[in-house]
Amino acid sequence: MGKAPQNQIIGAVPINIKQGEKMETDKKKVVLAYSGGLDTSVAIKWIQEKYNMDVIALTIDLGTEKDLNPVVEKAVKTGACKSMIIDAKEVFVYYFVFPALQAGALYENAYPLATALGRPLIAKLLVDTAKAEGACAVAHGCTGKGNDQVRFDIAIHTLDPSLQIIAPLREWNMTRKESMEYARMNEIPIDVSTQNPYSIDENIWGRSIECGILEDPWVEPPEDIYKWTKNANDAPDKPTYIEIGFENGIPLTLNGQERGGINLINELNKIAGDNGIGRVDHIENRIVGIKSREIYESPAAIVLYKAHQALEEIVMTKDTHRFKGMVSTHYSDMVYNGLWYSTFHQDLAAYILSNQRFVVGTVRLKLIKGNCIVVGRKSPLSLYDHSLATYDTGDTFEHDAAIGFIKIYGLPTKTQAQIQLKALKKGEVIPSIMPPKVAPTNVMEK
């Protein structure tokens, strides 16, 4: 069915490379996943001091509003021997985001997995770059209590078990204050955003915000943490209607116009965000056993999941739909738990690919003050048969056949009642399923 551009991928190629003043040495090299923030900047210096290695800074663009060019400069200024950006947005969308959408992967029915989906791709690019640069190690800026360290380490060692993994934040045990002091001592520039009390990860599929006051699950998130979504109160009073067209469970059109994946997601982030849609406040179960409070902003993801689900309802048989739900749960756990490069994933992916063949059609949604409401769906492969469903004229359903059906369908329950329910003594019946008698009131007789 269809021809979703799943395999027409533009390779992830480095788009911006800067060499440090230092010439090539015979020191060992490490490729560091570099964001330009305080922690990974401090990491450049720290790795040089502690491991005496040359640091290659790799900044990966999975879709951010931030201008990444200054980040490349900053890495070299901070001491990296080489610094580069890889624009991996296209690969991210077609190899990670859309497959997860097809799979219906919402972790614990809430989180569209933006951060979790990005990690295995970053890991792969670290491994590829290490190979290309002749590095023996890779490094990331994860702490020792989050999910991301698990995802990075498992993915890296699944792809190349020979690589050494350095995780400065997990190893150095500095508080934020101490890292700032270390930065000052080593003349690493600290920008204002470093004062931000929140830990934020961002890519085209969503923003993940944690720490600070958000750690109190009783406190309403302050308005200033949000960047992509309006407060529903401030959203327009008039609804915005949109139509999304899918093939193979992949969104291809917006309001009838064909769109590339990146463009479609960007546009939906804007439209839905303006209508106050996409905020998720979630107490989630981390891999390492901790419950944590996470705030997400994922306007496009929330709209696309809604639309995709609505389309599945109309094209899937009851059994397929039920089973897909179970697969979705396993798939989202698999992604969240960092098992992207497992063969378990391959098994699930094979099922999803088959399962999505008939997910073609269009969904109409109404966006209004924080609500995303499905108001219409249609598909050339719809299983919805109006002549079977209607209560009006034109009904083709065989009503008489229902009587025979009910007899046979109800037979086991009737048989069991005669034999087993009858055999139960008083007090052996589970009380909650047998309601007490309720006496009539207002009785009138003629």
- Nearer of residues 206 and 249 to ligand ARG, judged by Cβ: 206
Kindly state whether residue 199 participates in binding ligand ARG, applying the rule CB under 6 A: yes
What does the alpha-carbon distance between residue 254 and residue 265 come to, in Å, rounded to a whole number?
10
Stretch that binds ligand ARG, among 1-9, 197-205, 349-357, 380-388 (CB under 6 A): 197-205
Q: How many residues of this chain interact with ligand ARG, rule: CB under 6 A?
A: 9
How big is the chain by its Cα radius of gyration, in Å?
A: 27
User: Quick one: which of 190, 200, 262, 374 contacts ligand ARG (CB under 6 A)?
Assistant: 200
Q: Are 297 and 228 spatial neighbours (Cβ–Cβ below 8 Å)?
A: yes
116 binds ligand ARG per the rule CB under 6 A: yes
* 212 contact partners, CB below 8 Å, separation of at least 6: 197, 198
Report, in Å, the least distance between residue 414 CB and ligand ARG. 50
Closest distance of CB 251 from ligand ARG, Å: 23
What's the farthest any 2 CA atoms get from each other in the chain? 107
Query: In angstroms, how far is the first alpha carbon of the chain from the final one?
Result: 66
Q: How far apart are CA 142 and CA 101, in angstroms?
A: 26
| Cα→Cα distances 366→13, 150, 247, 305, 412, Å | 39, 39, 21, 14, 45
Distances (CA, A) of 146 to 34, 116, 218, 324: 18, 11, 22, 29
Q: In angstroms, what is the minimal distance from the CB of 95 to ligand ARG?
A: 18
180 scored as a contact of ligand ARG (CB under 6 A): no
What's the min distance (Å) between Cβ of 237 and ligand ARG? 33
C-beta closer to ligand ARG: residue 87 or 202: 202
Q: How many CB atoms lie within 10 A of CB 26?
A: 6
Residue 269 DSSP SS3? helix
Active site residues: 39, 119, 148, 199
Figure out which of the listed residues 208, 229, 248, 269 binds ligand ARG, where binding follows CB under 6 A.
Answer: 208
- Token reading at 139: 């490094």
Q: Whose Cβ is closer to ligand ARG: residue 147's or residue 269's? A: 147
Site string for ligand ARG, 272-301 (x = CB under 6 A): ----------------------x-------
Name which position in 153, 210, 247, 297 contacts ligand ARG (CB under 6 A): 210
Are 154 and 339 in contact, with CB atoms under 8 Å apart? Answer: yes
Under rule CB under 6 A, which residues in 123-162 are in contact with ligand ARG?
147
For ligand ARG, the binding residue among 201, 247, 297, 312 (CB under 6 A) is 201
Site residues for ligand ARG per CB under 6 A: 115-116, 147, 199-201, 208, 210, 294
